[in-house]
Structure 1
Amino acid sequence: MSKRRRKKQTRSLQGIIIALIVIVGGWLISGGQPSDISNFIQNISQNTLNHTKNVSSNDELAKLNYHSGDQSFIYVNHNKANLDPAKWKINEVRYANLDSLNRTSRGNLAYLESRNLASDENRVRQYVEPTAWHQKFVDRQPIINRGHLIAYSISKGISSDGRYNPRDSSGDQNNPKNLFTQTAFSNQRVQTIYEQKIRDSLKAGKRVIFYSKPIFRDNELMARGIHLEALSTDKSLNFNVYLFNVQPNVKFDYATGRSTIDRSMKVPEP
């Protein structure tokens, strides 16, 4: 073994040892017990892996299974969007047609700017029922929502054909090409985080490309999750994530969308 290679391995080993000392020291200072340190390190490793899986295709995303206690989302492509800012030409949304099972499985692509920011005052009652729509209340709360691929709040003036109409002061609402059955947790606790990032970027005058695609496994009618990518033309906004379509205390049959109460299903806050 060469001296250079031996030195590099020595430095790597030293780095690992220092990191472990810092972790253990922090744990003990915060009141942790020595007997619990292995579980503490294991939890850190699991959380890191959950957030940094490098998935390269939608086919791979469809194969992922969620396990109780896992994080509700993962990064795709190291959280870097596979979008080209040079493709932003006009303010529009490209709504894909429904597939043969009436699902929004092909994804929608939006080219957004600040004039697309919508207020809540023009919201109307939603009546479209996407595939796998079987509403249920658990602990008096609905477990599913009509999830928008392109959020109402960032689609002001966009008509159902995807073109911008300055006379339309509303965002997208009852458009079957823009809806899927999404759990309340995934929609309200997780996806809204990323939609807020887009809203903040638009408020700052940036132009944003946003791609949103529900991920279905084979012929299942309920999406296993949703893949979100966004990139501003100046690249200050850049994310690429997959959100699991899961709900605490509920187990879903993704083939049909029907559900059963399962108190062992735990989904941590993002």
Structure 2
Amino acid sequence: MYRIKKKIWHIVFGIVALLVVGGVVQKPTEGDASLSQGIQRFMAWGKSNSAQSGHYGHQQQEPPTEQQASVVLTPAVRQQLGKSIVWNGHGAYIINHNQADLNTNISSAPYAVNQLDNQGRAWRGDAWLNKTTRQYRNRAATGNGATDWKPAGFLQAHNLTGGYNHAYDRGHLLGYALVGGIRGFDASESNPKNIATQTAWANEARSSTSTGQNYYEGIVRKALDQGKQVRYRVTDIYSGNSVVPAGAHIQAQSKDGSVNFNVFVPNVQKNIEINYANGAVKQR
């Protein structure tokens, strides 16, 4: 089906290009505006469907395989996650039968706090959220824009092939869109208590078939937009003295019980191999 769509798209694009070059499609008058608008809509549709089908980044959307993800499940990591660790088939692991272990019997105002572990590594973000904590403005508008600060192990690799073209993002524990509305909380990308080295896939992937951290944050964002109160906790799990986390243990539970999940997003990416001790990256 994808090949058929791609062929149709290429044929139509070529016809439109010939019409433009030949002067057939010009600045629309009142009478032919609908034709031009229809062509533009079709071109937009073609690009959108190509992106979803793979022409514009299908490899980037692909999750790691279970074999690729399992490299982070060392005995030390398994001990921290508990006995029930089940592959979800889409890049992450279900922990404790997907049941969060969080208290939602809270009467206080919303809050967000971070903790470092005993080695000074970004370790835990814990929050009590509602719609007022949501941040809808972009980072630049709130003074939390780009930064040169790098977390430990951030040995970036660019121009990668076979998926994401870079290895790392500045990975947050508590996401900007969830807690950026809390006064006094440092939601920048240079907060050493809230930022650790995280792969592009683990940070950005957000579809039901590629379940990175952004996918689970999306569930919480939607709940907050619906007026729900949500307890949310992200714990970066490390293996021994490594400076790069093995992954993020993410739990969320709403006060009304409609949201409840407990997952581990492995800090991996299908086109790279990582030395978690120092952050060095090798193209796979």
TM-score (norm 2): 0.63
Q: Which runs of 5+ in 1 are unaligned?
A: 1-45, 51-56, 163-170, 263-270
Q: Are the structure 2 counterparts of residues 71 and 122 from structure 1 closer, same or farther at C-alpha, using a change threshold of 3 Å?
A: closer
Matched, 1:240 2:262: yes
Matched, 1:90 2:112: no
For residues 201 and 176 of structure 1, the distance between their equivalents in structure 2, rounded to whole angstroms, comes to: 28
Matched, 1:144 2:144: no
Once the two structures are TM-superposed, the CA of residue 117 in structure 1 deviates from its matched residue by 1.4
Once the two structures are TM-superposed, the CA of residue 126 in structure 1 deviates from its matched residue by 2.7
The code of the aligned residue for 1:126 comes to T
Q: Which residue of 1 aligns with 2:41?
A: none
For residues 105 and 230 of structure 2, the distance between their equivalents in structure 1, rounded to whole angstroms, comes to: 11
Within-5 A mapping of 1:81-230? 81-87=100-106, 89-96=108-115, 98-105=116-123, 107-123=124-140, 124-137=145-158, 138-139=160-161, 141-160=165-184, 171-189=187-205, 190-230=212-252
For residues 87 and 207 of structure 1, the distance between their equivalents in structure 2, rounded to whole angstroms, comes to: 10
Matched, 1:61 2:78: no
Once the two structures are TM-superposed, the CA of residue 62 in structure 1 deviates from its matched residue by 9.4
Check conservation: 1:160, 1:172, Cα contact below 8 A.
Answer: no
Check conservation: 2:156, 2:281, Cα contact below 8 A.
Answer: no
SS at the partner of 2:138?
helix
For residues 89 and 175 of structure 1, the distance between their equivalents in structure 2, rounded to whole angstroms, comes to: 25
Once the two structures are TM-superposed, the CA of residue 206 in structure 1 deviates from its matched residue by 0.4
Once the two structures are TM-superposed, the CA of residue 131 in structure 1 deviates from its matched residue by 1.2
Give the alignment's Cα RMSD to 1 decimal: 3.1
Matched, 1:231 2:253: yes
Check conservation: 1:117, 1:156, Cα contact below 8 A.
Answer: yes
The code of the aligned residue for 1:113 comes to N
Q: Are the structure 2 counterparts of residues 182 and 93 from structure 1 closer, same or farther at C-alpha, using a change threshold of 3 Å?
A: same
The code of the aligned residue for 2:139 comes to N
SS at the partner of 1:141?
coil
CA deviations 1:119-158 (Å, max 9, x no partner) are 2433311333111111101138221100110001111232
For residues 93 and 131 of structure 2, the distance between their equivalents in structure 1, rounded to whole angstroms, comes to: 28
Q: Which runs of 5+ in 2 are unaligned?
A: 1-65, 71-76, 206-211
Q: Which residue of 1 aligns with 2:97?
A: 78
Once the two structures are TM-superposed, the CA of residue 89 in structure 1 deviates from its matched residue by 2.0
Q: Are the structure 2 counterparts of residues 234 and 64 from structure 1 closer, same or farther at C-alpha, using a change threshold of 3 Å?
A: closer
For residues 241 and 233 of structure 2, the distance between their equivalents in structure 1, rounded to whole angstroms, comes to: 22
Check conservation: 1:220, 1:256, Cα contact below 8 A.
Answer: yes
Once the two structures are TM-superposed, the CA of residue 221 in structure 1 deviates from its matched residue by 0.5
For residues 127 and 236 of structure 1, the distance between their equivalents in structure 2, rounded to whole angstroms, comes to: 39
Check conservation: 1:112, 1:208, Cα contact below 8 A.
Answer: yes
CA deviations 1:62-112 (Å, max 9, x no partner) are 9999x9xx752111110010011103522111211x33543112x110011
For residues 148 and 257 of structure 2, the distance between their equivalents in structure 1, rounded to whole angstroms, comes to: 37
Check conservation: 1:186, 1:244, Cα contact below 8 A.
Answer: yes
**Identity of counterpart residues, as a percentage?**
29
The code of the aligned residue for 2:243 comes to L
Q: Count matched residues.
A: 198
